């Protein structure tokens, strides 16, 4: 592997000149710049990351802490990961995977060894055990998810409260007077209390404003649980029933249960789920969805941390950013009686 010294020799300049050509931190004459750039080309020189990190004290690597919980919707996690990796490249950074299995010590490790300059944590829980460590770390950390106490932390997430409001407002406008929320799996509810709570607070707020009733019923992937929830909802509903299934894993089961009860979404029942547009279109009856904007959340998370890395004026930051959600009508919900 050629080094910057080799390049310097080939171009007939000093090694430091090569470095300045690359970084642009000092003026270089057009003539020598060209000589250097040609030499770089011919030698296919690429700077050594280790040496660069050692000298500059910057690795240009961001650690991404990923969850792997079977209860979660893995496809959506993957979308986060993918978008985060691609966005990082735009800012000329790379992504190092840190598994949740490593827990808090894992964070200390990658930061302590200076393998990366900062961290993005996915799937942050309301009372996440890693928060004390995060606060003690002297590098920028961005949390995807809002913990109960976000003080001293930099957080970003979809606006779940807005999502809840949108769903209920929408269904209320379509004429439903009782709206049932088939919630997340118990495991998720216990762990990630925060976004569940935010969603519910949104639905309840909208319910008050619109004068409709919202039922919160247990979700999950267990067909029996969903079936019980559906039956309870049907029993309590006057008029056309409406369901909100904010968890991607719940939808399939819900669809089947409704089917077995002889109910057709968009005809004699309304259903709003959460899924990507492409997935929503693939359903037998295209699903009206509440889009939680995973790609946008990912992009912003990367932007935030890269800005922090650039700024670097140390002081412990604190910020909280909520990404607006988007509701999209497809065929699984009733159309409002008149107007939008």
Provide, rounded to whole angstroms, the least separation between the CB of residue 48 and DNA: 4
- From the list a copy of itself, DNA, none, pick the one residue 77 interacts with, judged by a Cβ distance below 5 to 8 Å according to partner type: a copy of itself
Within positions 238 to 267, which residues make up the interface with a copy of itself, using CB under 8 A? 252, 256
Encoded one letter per residue, x for contact with a copy of itself by CB under 8 A and - for no contact, window 56-95 reads ---x-x--x-x-x-x--xxx-xxx-xx--xx--x----xx
Backbone angles phi, psi at 331, to 5 degrees: -90, -5
For residue 95, give every residue at least 6 positions away whose Cβ sits within 8 Å of its Cβ, in sequence order, or none. 61, 62, 63, 64, 84, 85, 88
- From the list DNA, a copy of itself, none, pick the one residue 32 interacts with, judged by a Cβ distance below 5 to 8 Å according to partner type: DNA
Write the DSSP assignment of 180-248 as a string of letters. EEE---HHHHHH-HHHHHHHHHHHHHHHHHHT-EEEEE--SS-HHHHHHHHHHHHHH--SS-EEEE-SH
Provide, rounded to whole angstroms, the least separation between the CB of residue 114 and a copy of itself: 5
Within positions 16 to 45, which residues make up the interface with a copy of itself, using CB under 8 A? 44
Burial class (CB in 10 A: 0-12, 13-18, 19+), 29: exposed
Provide, rounded to whole angstroms, the least separation between the CB of residue 97 and a copy of itself: 4
Question: Contact 332/286 with Cβ under 8 angstroms?
Answer: yes
Site for DNA contains 15 (CB under 7 A): yes
Cβ atoms within 10 Å of 175's Cβ, excluding its own: 16
For residue 136, give every residue at least 6 positions away whose Cβ sits within 8 Å of its Cβ, in sequence order, or none. none
Encoded one letter per residue, x for contact with a copy of itself by CB under 8 A and - for no contact, window 274-303 reads ----x---x-x-------------------
Q: Which stretch binds DNA (CB under 7 A): 45-53, 61-69, 202-210, 311-319?
A: 45-53
Q: Which helix (H) or strand (E) holds 327?
A: strand 326-328
Site for DNA contains 218 (CB under 7 A): no
3-state secondary structure of 150: coil
Whole-angstrom distance, CA of residue 266 vs CA of residue 332:
4
Provide, rounded to whole angstroms, the least separation between the CB of residue 75 and a copy of itself: 4
Beta bridge partners of 323: 158
- From the list DNA, a copy of itself, none, pick the one residue 324 interacts with, judged by a Cβ distance below 5 to 8 Å according to partner type: none
- From the list a copy of itself, DNA, none, pick the one residue 15 interacts with, judged by a Cβ distance below 5 to 8 Å according to partner type: DNA
Whole-angstrom distance, CA of residue 64 vs CA of residue 86:
13
Site for a copy of itself contains 50 (CB under 8 A): yes
User: Smaller CB distance to a copy of itself: residue 223 or 303?
Assistant: 223
Backbone angles phi, psi at 272, to 5 degrees: -115, 130
Site for DNA contains 22 (CB under 7 A): yes
- From the list DNA, a copy of itself, none, pick the one residue 12 interacts with, judged by a Cβ distance below 5 to 8 Å according to partner type: DNA
**DSSP structural state of residue 325:** P
Which residue bears the tokens 């969903």? 226
Site for DNA contains 311 (CB under 7 A): no
Cβ atoms within 10 Å of 268's Cβ, excluding its own: 13
**DSSP structural state of residue 148:** S
Site for DNA contains 51 (CB under 7 A): yes
Question: Contact 292/163 with Cβ under 8 angstroms?
Answer: yes
Whole-angstrom distance, CA of residue 206 vs CA of residue 160:
13
User: Smaller CB distance to DNA: residue 4 or 180?
Assistant: 4
Site for a copy of itself contains 136 (CB under 8 A): no
- From the list DNA, a copy of itself, none, pick the one residue 19 interacts with, judged by a Cβ distance below 5 to 8 Å according to partner type: DNA
Q: Which residues of this protein are in contact with a copy of itself, per CB under 8 A?
A: 1, 44, 46-54, 59, 61, 64, 66, 68, 70, 73-75, 77-79, 81-82, 85-86, 89, 94-99, 101-102, 109-110, 112-115, 221, 223, 252, 256, 278, 282, 284
Q: Which residues of this protein are in contact with DNA, per CB under 7 A?
A: 1, 3-5, 12-17, 19-20, 22-23, 25-29, 31-33, 45-48, 51-52, 54-56
């Amino acid at each position: 592997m050629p080094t910057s010294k080799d390049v310097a020799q080939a171009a007939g300049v000093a090694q430091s000149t090569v470095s300045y050509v690359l970084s642009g931190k000092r003026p270089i004459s057009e003539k020598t710049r060209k000589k250097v750039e040609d030499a770089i080309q011919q030698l296919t020189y690429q700077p050594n990351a280790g040496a660069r990190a050692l000298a500059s004290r910057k690795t240009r690597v961001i650690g991404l802490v990923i969850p792997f919980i079977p209860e979660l919707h893995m496809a959506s996690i993957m979308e986060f990961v993918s978008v985060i990796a691609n966005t990082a490249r735009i800012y000329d950074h790379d992504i190092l995977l840190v598994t949740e299995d490593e827990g808090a010590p894992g964070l200390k490790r990658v930061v302590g060894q200076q393998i990366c300059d900062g961290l993005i944590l996915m799937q942050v829980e309301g009372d996440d055990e890693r928060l004390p460590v995060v606060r003690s770390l002297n590098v920028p950390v961005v949390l995807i998810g809002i913990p109960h106490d976000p003080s001293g932390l930099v957080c970003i997430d979809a606006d779940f409260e807005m999502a809840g409001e949108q769903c209920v407002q929408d269904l209320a406008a379509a004429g439903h007077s009782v709206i049932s929320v088939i919630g997340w799996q118990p495991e998720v509810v216990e762990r990630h209390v925060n976004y569940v709570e935010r969603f519910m607070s949104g639905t309840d707020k909208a319910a008050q404003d619109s004068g409709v009733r919202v039922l919160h019923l247990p979700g999950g992937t267990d067909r029996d649980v969903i079936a019980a929830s559906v039956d309870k909802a049907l029993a309590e509903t006057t008029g056309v029933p409406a369901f909100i299934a904010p968890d991607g894993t719940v939808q399939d089961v819900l669809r089947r249960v409704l089917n077995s009860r002889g109910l057709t979404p968009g005809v004699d029942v309304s259903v709003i789920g959460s899924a990507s547009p492409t997935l929503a279109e693939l359903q037998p009856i295209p699903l009206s969805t509440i889009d939680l904007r995973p790609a946008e959340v990912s992009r912003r998370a990367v932007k935030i941390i890269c800005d922090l890395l650039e700024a670097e004026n140390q002081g412990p930051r604190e910020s909280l950013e909520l990404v607006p959600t988007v509701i999209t009508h497809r065929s699984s919900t009733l159309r409002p009686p008149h107007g939008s």
